[in-house]
């Protein structure tokens, strides 16, 4: 396997200088295209008012540093609330999703267990069709969940793909472990929590990440189900005040404490700070889990 070679395999010729230069340039260009927008956004959010004004917009070259934009955002206005909403929904949602998914994945992973075929079929069938936006909206509305945070969690709580990924992983674990524990009188709950889960940290982390990112990024559900803008998650705030550029000063994005004061960060810096707040949790959590991507948890299930 190519990755296992520290050096070039003996049979491979050295690439010519132009070829290897072209390759390096392409890879560098790809990395720059991805990283550059993030650099500009982060830098602008951290720039003092003078730097933003002299740049006439986004800042390319660092000219001092200021945390004023972040201080403004977290002084108790709309953004503070939206961040708390998103954090809460992400934490509770990920927990609900993981528990339901792990339990069902294990419950369906034992060969020959009662009714596992029809139940699995019911899970797999959800791949083939979506229920439809409007009937789902009416259901959520009939359940009285409009403007409830549960509307951001329950309709998307179980992802059949994640469930199948976990089930495939559990089925690949040696069955003998569970069998001998059963002989010793262990309950299925004990086998799952004491034996199976400790061996499945990687797949649990990856599936947990998928769920968490889904909840943090949730936009569509909030557009449909949350009318009360005091309950908006961060993505809606991002859209309203940054993508659509609604003015911040007139909209109490920043806290009351700051509005009366004098030292407020420039509008653009605050907007960019909202962008950074939206992307930072994802960029921090994801490298922790990334090493598991390559361990085949995803691929195994894709092929399954």
Rule CB under 8 A: which of 227-256 touch another protein? 235, 238-239, 242-243, 245
Q: What angle do CA 44, 45, 51 make, to 5 degrees?
A: 45
Return the C-alpha torsion angle 250, 254, 259, 265, nearest 10.
-100
Does the protein bind another protein through residue 186 (CB under 8 A)?
A: no
84 or 263: whose CB is closer to another protein?
84
* One character per residue 115-134, x = contact with another protein (rule: CB under 8 A): xx--xx-xxx-xxxxxxxxx
163 burial type by CB count under 10 A (0-12 exposed, 13-18 middle, 19+ buried): buried
Quick one: tokens of 171? 């089925």
Does the protein bind another protein through residue 21 (CB under 8 A)?
A: no
For the bound state, the minimum distance from the C-beta of residue 246 to another protein, rounded and expressed in Å, comes to 13
76 or 137: whose CB is closer to another protein?
137
Does the protein bind another protein through residue 146 (CB under 8 A)?
A: no
Q: Side-chain half-sphere of 215: how many Cα atoms within 13 Å?
A: 33
Does the protein bind another protein through residue 164 (CB under 8 A)?
A: yes
Q: Select the residue interacting with another protein from 21, 60, 91, 263 (CB under 8 A).
A: 60
For the bound state, the minimum distance from the C-beta of residue 14 to another protein, rounded and expressed in Å, comes to 10
Rounded Cα–Cα distance for residues 238 and 84 (Å):
14
- Please identify, among the stretches 72-80, 107-115, 247-255, 257-265, the one whose residues bind another protein according to the rule CB under 8 A: 107-115
Other beta carbons less than 10 A from residue 22's beta carbon: 12
Rounded Cα–Cα distance for residues 156 and 138 (Å):
15
Does the protein bind another protein through residue 17 (CB under 8 A)?
A: no
């Amino acid at each position: 396997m190519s990755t296992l070679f520290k050096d070039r395999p003996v049979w491979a010729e050295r690439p010519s200088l132009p070829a290897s230069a072209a390759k390096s340039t392409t890879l560098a260009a790809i990395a720059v295209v991805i990283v550059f927008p993030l650099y500009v956004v982060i830098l602008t959010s951290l720039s003092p008012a003078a730097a933003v004004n002299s740049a006439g917009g986004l800042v390319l070259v660092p000219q001092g540093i200021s945390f004023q934009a972040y201080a403004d955002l977290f002084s108790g206005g709309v953004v503070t609330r939206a961040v708390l909403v998103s954090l809460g929904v992400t934490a509770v949602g990920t927990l609900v999703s993981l528990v339901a998914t792990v339990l069902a994945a294990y419950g369906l992973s034992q060969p020959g267990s009662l009714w596992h075929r029809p139940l699995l079929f019911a899970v797999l069938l959800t791949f083939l069709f979506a229920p439809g936006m409007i009937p789902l909206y009416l259901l959520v509305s009939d359940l009285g969940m409009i403007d409830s945070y549960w509307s951001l969690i329950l309709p998307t709580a179980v992802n059949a793909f994640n469930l199948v990924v976990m089930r495939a992983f559990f089925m690949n674990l040696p069955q003998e472990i569970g069998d001998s524990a059963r002989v010793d009188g262990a309950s299925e709950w004990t086998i799952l929590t004491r034996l199976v889960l400790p061996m499945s940290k990687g797949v649990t982390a990856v599936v947990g990440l998928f769920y968490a990112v889904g909840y943090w990024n949730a936009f569509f559900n909030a557009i449909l189900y949350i009318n009360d803008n005091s309950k908006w998650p961060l993505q809606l705030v991002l859209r309203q005040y940054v993508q659509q550029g609604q003015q911040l000063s007139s909209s109490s994005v920043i806290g009351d404490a700051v509005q009366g004061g004098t030292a407020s960060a420039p509008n653009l810096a605050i907007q960019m700070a909202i962008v950074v707040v939206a992307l930072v949790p994802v960029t921090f959590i994801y490298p922790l889990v990334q090493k598991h991507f390559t361990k085949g948890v995803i691929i195994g299930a894709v092929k399954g």
